[in-house]
């Protein structure tokens, strides 16, 4: 392959390997492309040319969301990516105008243009669109049907490559990025090289959810997307209606600590009827189902605390689900991975010209992405822990946190600026600290006391 001189001159290393061609792995490949002469993405599945689900991503038949912060990160990595999504058939969502967000204890939000946007489409089409952009990068190679079975370290403990199934020789690399779904390869490497076991936080959510697709009825509505969240303690059903390509709706209903839903249309419609708010049920009442009914289960959300390790092996980085697997009903996973990839790109750029640019990179990356993970985890873990059957250590002051969140939502209904800031935080565009300004805190306290 002929690599442009501008890439070679900016090179941090000769070869980087990414394990996994999901959203996190593809975003990581973009981040690496400007700092390595070659980037190879190894994926165990066949990389198809059509938007069909992959066996290695069993949840890809379900509703997925790319939050505003994730979209901005991908558009920074790949300028014009929003146009790619629109051309692929994605629906543009103007936050505050096109979304119907139903939160317990709150009146409906007034229609407001919050100055933020997102795009909705199926996960396979989103992945295919991103993969198309990545494949056009001249120094990136995507290899399907290449299952990595081991991350390999040298005698000094530094990672030096990977071993694929059926291959006798190690595929060498200066840097290996683990973007696999569970991070088991990184965990095995740490154990093999004598690192202490990584601390984990696990929240047992026992989530079951079911999705199907409907033909979108041709009539006017004042929303494009419906997000219905459950009551924390008395109700556990969440419902999502999302427009996707082909003039269709994808509808998902998730429930914590409940039996698996039956994969039948009558049962699905009955689940929709039982949602706390009638919006989704009424929308699909006369709609024709055009997709199969798919189920998925996730017993727990989990987080590996690499930031507590006090160091990290040279030549290795975990990213995305390999660090933290979120409850999917909050739609955070892909966006967190995209933001992590953007952080990786900036770290690599800052190290150009250093005598040893890869020294301490893993530790620096783990520290830099910690606030992003912490913010997203806090927004999903706290509501999940409100349910009495959820397994996990409850933080001190949990009930007060829940009441403060409800008060903040009530304020957002009445105040456009509170609405904008709260939405920006939920979409990972701004950090939670923007809600900690003294005037905001005082207003929340007064609302809680009312």
Q: Is residue 140 part of a domain?
A: yes
Indicate whether 212 and 290 sit together in one domain: yes
Domain shared by 46 and 182, yes or no = yes
Q: Are strands 316-318 and 175-178 parallel, antiparallel or unpaired?
A: parallel
**Domain C-terminal end among 299, 322, 347:** 299
- Distinct helix (H) and strand (E) counts, the chain: 13, 17
Summarised one tens digit per residue, pLDDT across range 287-316 is: 999 999 999 999 999 999 999 998 899 999
Residues 56 and 184 in one domain: yes
Same domain, residue pair 364 and 438 = no
**Which pLDDT belongs to residue 4?**
44
37 pLDDT band, cuts 50/70/90, is very high
Residue 387 lies in a domain: no
Predicted confidence band at 3 (pLDDT cuts at 50, 70, 90)? very low
Q: Rounded to whole angstroms, how far apart are CA atoms 384 and 391?
A: 9
Residue 221 maps to a domain: yes
Model confidence at 55: pLDDT above 90: no
CB-based contact 178:19 (threshold 8 Å):
yes
Does the residue 16 lie in any domain?
Answer: yes
Please, what is the average pLDDT of the chain?
93
Residues 225 and 288 in one domain: yes
Do 107 and 76 have their domain in common? no
Same domain, 44 and 168: yes
Residue 374 within a domain: yes
Mean per-residue pLDDT, 361-376? 97
Question: Are 278 and 335 members of one domain?
Answer: no
Q: Is residue 386 part of a domain?
A: no
Q: What is the pLDDT of residue 355?
A: 92
Domain holding 438, by residue range, is 395-449
Listed in sequence order, the residues at least 6 apart from 217 whose beta carbon sits closer than 8 Å to its beta carbon are: 283, 286, 287
Tokens of 365: 């990356």
User: Residue 194 CA to chain centroid, in angstroms?
Assistant: 31
Same domain, 309 and 435: no
Residue 160 and residue 60 share a domain? yes
pLDDT at 127: 97
Domain boundary among 299, 321, 355: 299
Q: How many CA atoms lie within 13 A of 150 on its CB side?
A: 16
Scanning 329-415, the segments in alpha helix (DSSP H) are 333-350, 361-386, 398-414
Q: State how many domains the chain has.
A: 3
Task: Give pLDDT, residue 87.
Answer: 97
Domain boundary among 380, 411, 429: 380
- Judgement on whether residues 413 and 348 belong to the same structural domain of the protein: no
Q: For position 338, which CATH number holds?
A: 3.50.50.60
The tens digit of pLDDT for each residue in 130-184 reads 999 999 999 999 999 999 999 999 999 999 999 999 888 899 999 999 999 889 9
**Is residue 389 domain-resident?**
no
Q: Are residues 174 and 98 in the same domain?
A: no
Closest CA to 407 of 450, 347, 349, 378: 450
Output the domain CATH number for residue 286. Answer: 3.30.9.90
Residues forming beta bridges with residue 26, ordered by sequence position = none
Q: Is residue 366 part of a domain?
A: yes
Residue 94 in 3-state DSSP? strand
């Amino acid at each position: 392959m002929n690599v442009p001189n501008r890439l070679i001159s900016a090179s941090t290393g000769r070869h980087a390997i990414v394990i996994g061609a999901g959203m996190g792995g593809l975003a990581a490949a973009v981040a690496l492309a400007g700092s390595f002469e070659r980037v190879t993405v190894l994926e165990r599945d066949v990389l198809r040319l059509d938007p069909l689900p992959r066996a290695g991503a069993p949840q890809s038949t379900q509703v997925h969301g790319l939050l505003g912060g994730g979209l901005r990160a991908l558009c920074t990595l790949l300028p014009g990516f929003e146009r790619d999504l629109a051309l692929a058939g994605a629906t543009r969502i103007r936050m505050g105008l096109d979304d119907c967000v139903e939160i317990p204890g709150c009146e409906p939000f007034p229609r407001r243009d919050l100055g933020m946007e997102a795009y909705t489409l199926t996960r396979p089409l989103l992945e295919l669109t991103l993969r198309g952009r990545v494949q056009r990068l001249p120094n990136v190679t995507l290899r399907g049907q290449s299952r990595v079975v081991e991350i390999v370290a040298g005698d000094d403990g530094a990672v030096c490559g990977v071993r694929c199934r059926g291959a006798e020789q190690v595929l060498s690399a200066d840097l290996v990025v683990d973007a696999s779904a569970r991070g088991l390869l990184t965990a095995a490497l740490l154990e093999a090289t004598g690192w202490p076991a990584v601390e984990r936080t696990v929240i047992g959510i026992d989530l079951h959810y079911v999705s199907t697709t409907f033909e979108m009825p041709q009539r006017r509505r004042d929303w494009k997307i419906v997000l219905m969240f459950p009551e924390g303690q008395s109700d556990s059903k969440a419902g999502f209606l999302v427009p996707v390509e082909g003039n269709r709706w994808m509808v998902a209903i998730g429930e914590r600590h409940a039996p698996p839903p039956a994969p039948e249309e009558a049962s699905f419609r009955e689940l929709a009827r039982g949602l706390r708010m009638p919006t989704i049920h009424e929308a699909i009442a006369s709609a024709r189902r055009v997709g199969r009914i798919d189920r998925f289960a996730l017993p727990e959300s989990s987080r590996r605390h690499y930031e507590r390790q006090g160091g990290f092996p040279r030549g290795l980085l975990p990213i995305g689900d390999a660090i933290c697997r979120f409850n999917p009903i909050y739609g955070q996973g892909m966006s967190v991975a995209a933001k992590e990839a953007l952080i990786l790109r900036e770290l690599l750029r800052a190290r150009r010209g250093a005598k040893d640019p890869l020294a301490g990179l893993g530790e620096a990356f783990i520290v830099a992405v910690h606030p992003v993970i912490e913010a997203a985890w806090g927004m999903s873990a706290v509501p999940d822990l409100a349910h009495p059957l959820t397994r996990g250590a409850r933080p001190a002051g949990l009930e007060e946190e829940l009441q403060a969140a409800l008060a903040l939502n009530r304020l957002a209904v009445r105040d456009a600026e509170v609405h904008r800031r709260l939405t920006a935080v939920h979409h990972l565009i701004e950090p939670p600290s923007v809600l900690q300004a003294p005037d905001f805190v005082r207003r929340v306290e007064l609302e809680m006391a009312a």
